[in-house]
Structure 1
Amino acid sequence: MGSHWGEKIRRYLQSLYPVAYQRWKVVLISSLVVFLILLVLQPFGISGIRQHKFWILVGFMGVTAVSLSIPMYVFGKLFPKFYKEETWTVWKQIVNLLQILFFIAIGNWIYSTFVFGWGLRWDVFCAFALFTLVIGLFPTVLFILLNQNRLLAIHLKEATEMNLHLQRSVLPAESVETTQDSPFLLFQGGIRESLELDSKDLLYVESNGNYIRVNYQKAGKNVQCLLRATMKQAEEVTAVCPLVLKCHRAFLVNVRKVVKVNGNSQGYRLLLEGCPEEIPVSRGYSKQVKELIEGISGD
């Protein structure tokens, strides 16, 4: 029985979790929450302050914003592999939460040292760390659990709706795409490197460091071509084709080739015609992808 629950917990902790793509909102809302908690509860002797209390609390809010910004913005640059969106899971989100609470405790401890003249005392830091953990850990972990289930349900429902649109599509791609609607695309790489293909044959483009990998169909087979180019250059090439759009920071996809949509808590993953790979869709692009799929599927 214990091993059964242990396995369920392990699988849940390893399940995917969405990365916050509007990090400034997280910083702003969290800072305001800290301000309101301090205003209402007034711990650490704040209740005894007679002058400039409001501005001192605003200072706590500012320190919280700075403390949050370090793990939210800096750590992602320093440790890109750990913070990779495609492998972001529930346990990583909880670890990230704990380090955010740790930085908030340090920031408020240092700020209080200067405001109240306590000195950098270890017992004061422990009090700040304990208070931050008690106040912040339970509601945020609960939010993670509820939010993961909420987003999973939403994305599964929307993926089902998109699949119904795809199934109801009555016209095959060849019958609705004319030569004018299906322009040729010319991808330029390094010296004497180029690839020209009909846009209706394009599956997707993937960014790979200083290169792009163009995946397309040729004579009924899937073909890949690696070119030295940037994703921005690939976007400029495909701008002439309205059915090719960016669905992720590292992917451009030909929506006409989508045959199925899978949903998870992070968003959607697209299955393309004759393509074994699943193409991720970030939350920031999900609305545009959904609208385009529903728009070309005959409704």
Structure 2
Amino acid sequence: MDKDHIETIRVRAISVGFAVLALGVFKPFGLGAWGWETYAHLLLIWVLGFGVCFLTEVILRFIAKMPRSYEQGVDYIIRRNLWFQLINTPLVSLMICLYRHFVLSDRVPNNQLSWSNYFETLAIIAFISFAIGLYWRFKFRSRYLATELEETRQLNEQLKAVQAQAESKVQSLEAAMNQPKEALDEQPSDSLTLSGTTSEKIALNINDLLFIETVGNYVKVCHLRNGQVRTDMLRATSKQMEDDLHSYPMIVRCHRAFLVNLAQVEQIVSKSGSMQLIIKHSHDNIPVSRSNVSQIKEVIKNI
């Protein structure tokens, strides 16, 4: 059993222990009527709750296809923990309702299985689960921050390597001008013309494109012209620009409103769980939405 699995077992055991402790302090569901036997019931609830946690882990791993993997980054772990709580809380509530019905209803008739009892249990367990989630988020915050910084550092190193490959490709394309025409036809052209729904067109070198931003019914094309940053407007959609540039793997969507040229990204920065791309020359900070973070990482790693 590796270290990650051991830590998962420890975290789940402590979390269920916190939940059972809260039940022992406030004694809902008529637990106070059982006297000393309350502690035996709490121990059984801990065992059952621990089992439900592993059932949730199985659901996440094999049904939701979300295995526990710290290699996929901090955002993935946070998102997975959220899904764990969303799945686990109703399951634990159902387990406790069944326990109330079959075990605790002898002395407390109100423990019979019903929708009202389920929603009552769900509200209590959801509050406890929220408090436990806050505890672990605070507990692991420093680790998450350290992991996030390390992940960002590795992404920046990979980005530099990708940019070096892109520059090498540009040099090889320049050298390819001496090759036969058939060889040149296999190489994508560096120059392209972007056009919108009107007669306006923008001719540029793909290596000079910085980013494209959606502004209402227009797109703002930020690019270099004779070494100077220039912005031109086209009446077009972001999707149209994305389709026109699909053959250039360095041009990726990082946000609903932005397409960015990774070859022109100076640095990737992470702040409080969010990611931003600092663009060369213009030094604009381009946001990366949570839904596009994994795509950016995938492109950087696979190019």
Shorter-normalised TM range: 0.5 to 0.7
After superposition, the Cα gap between the structure-2 partners of 1:52 and 1:245, relative to the gap in structure 1 and judged at 3 Å, is: farther
1:142 aligns with 2:135: yes
Query: How far is the alpha carbon of 1:156 from its aligned partner?
Result: 1.2
After superposition, the Cα gap between the structure-2 partners of 1:50 and 1:282, relative to the gap in structure 1 and judged at 3 Å, is: same
Deviations 1:38-78 (A, max 9, x none): 4237699895389994xx5xxxxxxxxxxxxxxxxxxxxxx
Query: How far is the alpha carbon of 1:26 from its aligned partner?
Result: 4.8
Query: How far is the alpha carbon of 1:219 from its aligned partner?
Result: 1.0
Is the 1:188–1:194 Cα contact (8 Å) retained in structure 2?
Answer: yes
Match of 1:158 among 151, 156, 166: 151
CA–CA separation in structure 2 for the residues paired with 1:169 and 1:186: 25
Determine the structure 2 residue equivalent to 1:249: 256
Match of 1:258 among 265, 268, 271: 265
Scaled by the length of structure 1, the TM-score of the pair is 0.55
Question: Which deviates more, 283-292 or 227-236?
Answer: 283-292
Determine the structure 1 residue equivalent to 2:91: 35
Is the 1:255–1:292 Cα contact (8 Å) retained in structure 2?
Answer: no
Determine the structure 1 residue equivalent to 2:14: none
Scaled by the length of structure 2, the TM-score of the pair is 0.54
After superposition, the Cα gap between the structure-2 partners of 1:160 and 1:26, relative to the gap in structure 1 and judged at 3 Å, is: closer
After superposition, the Cα gap between the structure-2 partners of 1:22 and 1:190, relative to the gap in structure 1 and judged at 3 Å, is: farther
Greater C-alpha Rg: 2
Determine the structure 2 residue equivalent to 1:176: 169
Determine the structure 2 residue equivalent to 1:204: 211
The RMSD of aligned alpha carbons is: 4.2
CA–CA separation in structure 1 for the residues paired with 2:231 and 2:163: 30
Query: How far is the alpha carbon of 1:213 from its aligned partner?
Result: 1.6
CA–CA separation in structure 2 for the residues paired with 1:171 and 1:27: 39
CA–CA separation in structure 2 for the residues paired with 1:248 and 1:241: 17
Q: Is there any run of 5+ residues in structure 2 with no aligned partner, and where?
A: 1-73, 175-186
Q: 1:10-29, aligned counterparts within 5 Å?
A: 26=82, 29=85
After superposition, the Cα gap between the structure-2 partners of 1:150 and 1:265, relative to the gap in structure 1 and judged at 3 Å, is: farther
Identical-residue share of aligned pairs (%):
28
| RCO comparison, higher one (Cα < 8 Å, 6+) | 1
In structure 2, what residue type is equivalent to 1:142? Y
Paired residues, what number?
A: 212
Deviations 1:179-238 (A, max 9, x none): 734533333334223322221111111223332221111111111122222221111011
In structure 2, what residue type is equivalent to 1:36? V
Query: How far is the alpha carbon of 1:169 from its aligned partner?
Result: 7.4
Q: 1:11-90, aligned counterparts within 5 Å?
A: 26=82, 29-40=85-96, 47-48=104-105, 53=113
Query: How far is the alpha carbon of 1:27 from its aligned partner?
Result: 6.3
